[in-house]
């Protein structure tokens, strides 16, 4: 090949130069992957050797009852005994309270909480009319809280207090009865008592 090379010759030179770069990248990537895959095993092997050296051989152990357990070397991942509740007394079911459903054998798997109750009269009444086991969370000083909370209590529903607290953004007003970070313990206690009243 003579210099200056033609454009076709330069294209061939560039293509030939790219092949070693691509091969280098491939081998580098594979090398890093092999290193990352094998490095945890080398650390684990060193840790097991250190454990065996520090304990001067296998460790004799016994279980909770005193039975001899096979010697341990390295890491052991134990499972709890199969029958951990064998020595516990049987659970006593709670006594039913008037106005509430009697306890069931099968407990509910989820709890549905309707939040921000007390602000909207019609929506709140419609939610209370639903024949479902719902929990209601009432804002303490909302306009319809006292009436709707009393109705929820008469229906045997679970009732929570939606305690207003200091917002992250000071431009938001959490409403009356809110708890603030800079408040004294006494003022927090008074606010909580007032909100629960």
Residue 62 lies in a domain: no
Residue 32 lies in a domain: yes
Q: Between these two residues, 87 and 128, which has the higher pLDDT value?
A: 128
pLDDT of residue 77: 45
* Lowest pLDDT segment from 82-96, 133-147, 172-186: 82-96
62 contacts 68 by C-beta, under 8 angstroms: yes
pLDDT of residue 28: 65
Residue 84 lies in a domain: no
Domain containing 148 equals 113-196
Q: Are 121 and 49 found together in one domain?
A: no
Residue 63 lies in a domain: no
Q: What is the CATH number of the domain that holds 181?
A: 3.20.20.370
| Domain final residue, candidates 16, 31, 57 | 57
pLDDT tier, 170 (very low <50, low <70, confident <90, very high otherwise): confident
Q: Which of 148, 147, 152, 161 is nearest to 194 (CA)?
A: 161
Residue 179 lies in a domain: yes
Using DSSP, state whether 74 is helix, strand or coil. coil
pLDDT of residue 76: 43
The DSSP result for 108-123, as a single string, is: PS---EEEEETS-HHH
pLDDT tens digits along 33-77? 666 666 655 555 555 555 555 555 555 555 556 666 555 444 444
pTM reported for the whole predicted model: 0.46
Dist. CA 128–CA 84, nearest whole Å: 42
Number of H helices, E strands in the chain: 4, 5
Residue 73 lies in a domain: no
Q: Between these two residues, 173 and 100, which has the higher pLDDT value?
A: 173
pLDDT tier, 175 (very low <50, low <70, confident <90, very high otherwise): confident
- Classify strands 68-72 and 59-62 as parallel, antiparallel or unpaired: antiparallel
Q: Which of 72, 31, 36, 39 is nearest to 54 (CA)?
A: 72
Token reading at 142: 């909302």
pLDDT tens digits along 72-125? 444 444 455 555 556 666 677 766 666 666 667 777 678 899 999 998 999 999
Average confidence (pLDDT) over 14-27:
62
- Angle at Cα 29 formed by Cα 23 and Cα 33, nearest 5°? 145
Mean pLDDT, the chain, integer: 74
pLDDT of residue 41: 57
Q: Are 191 and 122 found together in one domain?
A: yes
């Amino acid at each position: 090949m003579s210099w200056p090379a033609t454009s076709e010759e330069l294209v061939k030179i560039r293509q030939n130069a790219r092949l070693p770069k691509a091969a280098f990248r491939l081998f580098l990537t594979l090398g890093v992957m092999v290193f990352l895959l094998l490095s945890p095993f080398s650390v684990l092997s060193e840790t097991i050797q250190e454990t065996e050296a520090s304990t001067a051989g296998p460790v004799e152990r016994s279980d909770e009852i005193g039975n001899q357990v096979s010697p341990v070397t390295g890491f052991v991942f134990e499972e709890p005994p199969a029958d951990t509740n064998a020595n516990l007394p049987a659970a006593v079911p709670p006594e039913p309270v008037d106005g509430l459903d009697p306890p069931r054998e099968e407990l509910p798997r989820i709890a549905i909480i309707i939040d921000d109750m007390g602000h909207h009269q019609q929506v709140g009444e419609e939610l209370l009319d639903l024949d479902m086991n719902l929990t209601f969370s009432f804002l303490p000083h909302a306009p319809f809280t006292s009436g709707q909370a009393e109705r929820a209590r008469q229906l045997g529903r679970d009732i929570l207090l939606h305690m207003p607290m200091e917002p992250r953004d000071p431009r938001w007003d959490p409403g009356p009865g809110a708890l603030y970070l800079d408040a004294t313990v006494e003022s927090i206690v008074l606010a909580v008592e007032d909100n629960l009243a």
